[in-house]
Amino acid sequence: MTPSPRAPEPTSGLPPPASGLSPSGAPALDVDPFSTEFFEDPHRIHEALREAGPVVWLSRWSVHAVARYAEVHAVLNDPATFCSGRGVGLSDFARETPWRPKSLILEADPPEHGRTRAVLARVLSPGVMKTLRERFRVAAEALTEDLLARRSFDAVSDLAEAFPLSVFPDAVGLQREGREHLLPYAGLAFNAFGPPNELRRRALETAAPHVDWVMAQCQRQNLAPGGFGAAIHEAADRGEITHDEAPLLVRSLLTAGLDTTVNGIGAAIYCLARFPEAFARLRGKPALARAAFEEAVRFESPVQTFFRTTTRDVEIGGVTIPDGAKVLMFLGAANRDPRRWQDPARYDPERQTVGHVGFGSGIHMCVGQLLARLEGEVMLGALAARVGAIAITGPVVRRYNNTLRGLERLPVTLTPA
């Protein structure tokens, strides 16, 4: 068997040198998808990755990667060959201790995964969303009125963060005290999927207070009755999961349920501000709100990348990836692959987006996708009803994260309808 490429040691500080050669024969590229250069403009590098071949070798981090739609979709839908149990970041749990106890859903494989997944799927089911819709709609309309009164504000902190923060923690049933830990916790968890770069190091160094608060909130006594958190603990009462597992499943919700929707809503606002013609179409047809959010998830791909680990030697496009190797999936590149999408760099709220991988695909596809869509739909719907135009009125600043794509600052001015 071909020797497996070794993941870099987390403590090594420096990336391995670019070799230009892949042990598997995949075309090698010396690009770093975890660099500020990439965060500022991923599209040029995405194109280079897609055009190099169906599977490429990233010499910087000694890892195979797929960036075309067909291969990303295929890897996502073959969990037996491309497993998650060895971590969905670069760190290989077979060789390194995870920085936190493993996720019972994200970092689990069948058959164990099915059990925990079923619990979260029920907690976040279409039926549950129906019960939240009215409350979320009212909150989105109230926020829109506040923002119209202010006219000029930062669309990241005052809108993309403010809206999910106004509905999600209550829906989980979190206590009010300490909610400011939520976004830093998620930010560090998503940075930790990346390689041992400065972002990851800094995230782990500053993690302790956020981790302590989040883990405490996962305990049953801190979760209000009627919320998602309590519902997870009730699943343990019914024997669907154990009482030890319940807090860790609540943690998954707190890790993946907030920052992702912040960046999804932020992506949509950034699209509608940059493309006034699209906002005009949304205003003319408010029923497009949900589709406009979905297209923003395709267009910006708030979750850019995840890794899998091979469970056997596997051939992709003539290249054999050895057993036990990490494979990086570029969701954002797949969502703009011209082999799959017509005019992919155009934001079109009326596009047929079915099949995009912004929420992943297959058994690990985002279990909170309905919640994300509900938040996005009611927020964009409220804006479309009351706002005539969204203008960018200051420097747009990107936020750097090893996994999440989003903005740090988006100064805008609203014109009332």
Partner 1 sequence: MTTITFIQPDGRSRSLALADGTSLMQGATGAGLDGIVAECGGNAMCATCHVYVDEAWAGRLPPRSDEEDALLDGAAAERLPTSRLSCQITVTPDLDGLVVRLPDRQI
Q: Does 361 bind partner 1 (CB under 8 A)?
A: yes
Q: Does 127 bind partner 1 (CB under 8 A)?
A: yes
Give the one residue of 281, 290, 340, 399 binding partner 1; rule: CB under 8 A: 290
Q: Nearer to partner 1 by C-beta: 76 or 271?
A: 76
Q: Is 257 helix (H, G, I), strand (E, B) or coil?
A: coil
Q: Does 362 bind partner 1 (CB under 8 A)?
A: yes
Q: What is the DSSP string of 47-66?
A: HHHHHH-SSEEETTTTEEEE
As a 3-state breakdown, the chain gives helix, strand, coil percent values, each rounded to 5, of: 50, 15, 40
Q: How far is the CB of 115 from partner 1 (least distance, A)?
A: 13
Distance of CA 149 to the CA centre of its chain: 32
Q: Which stretch binds partner 1 (CB under 8 A): 59-67, 121-129, 342-350, 401-409?
A: 121-129
Task: Name residue 9's amino acid.
Answer: E
Q: Is the peptide bond before 411 cis (omega within 30 degrees of 0)?
A: no
Q: Nearer to partner 1 by C-beta: 227 or 360?
A: 360
Rg (CA), the chain: 21
Query: How many Å apart are CA 293 and CA 87, to the nearest integer?
Result: 29
Q: Nearer to partner 1 by C-beta: 159 or 256?
A: 256
Q: Nearer to partner 1 by C-beta: 43 or 133?
A: 133
Q: Does 80 bind partner 1 (CB under 8 A)?
A: no
Query: How many Å apart are CA 206 and CA 199, to the nearest integer?
Result: 11
| Number of residues binding to partner 1, judged by CB under 8 A | 24
Query: How many Å apart are CA 388 and CA 372, to the nearest integer?
Result: 24
Give the one residue of 339, 352, 415, 417 binding partner 1; rule: CB under 8 A: 352
Q: Nearer to partner 1 by C-beta: 294 or 300?
A: 294
Sign of CA dihedral 218, 221, 227, 231: positive
Q: Does 70 bind partner 1 (CB under 8 A)?
A: no
Q: Does 253 bind partner 1 (CB under 8 A)?
A: no
Phi-psi region of 344 (alpha: psi -120 to 50; beta: other; left: phi over 0): alpha
Beta strands in 42-123 (DSSP E): 56-58, 63-66, 82-83
Q: Does 294 bind partner 1 (CB under 8 A)?
A: yes
Q: Does 216 bind partner 1 (CB under 8 A)?
A: no
Binding string, residues 129-148; x marks residues near partner 1 by CB under 8 A: xx------------------
Q: Which stretch binds partner 1 (CB under 8 A): 39-47, 91-99, 361-369, 408-416?
A: 361-369
Give the one residue of 35, 311, 320, 369 binding partner 1; rule: CB under 8 A: 369
In angstroms, the Cα distances linking 129 to 123, 202, 374 are 9, 37, 7
Q: Where do contacts with partner 1 occur on this chain (CB under 8 A)?
A: 118, 121-122, 125-130, 290, 294, 352, 354-356, 359, 361-363, 365, 367, 369-370, 373
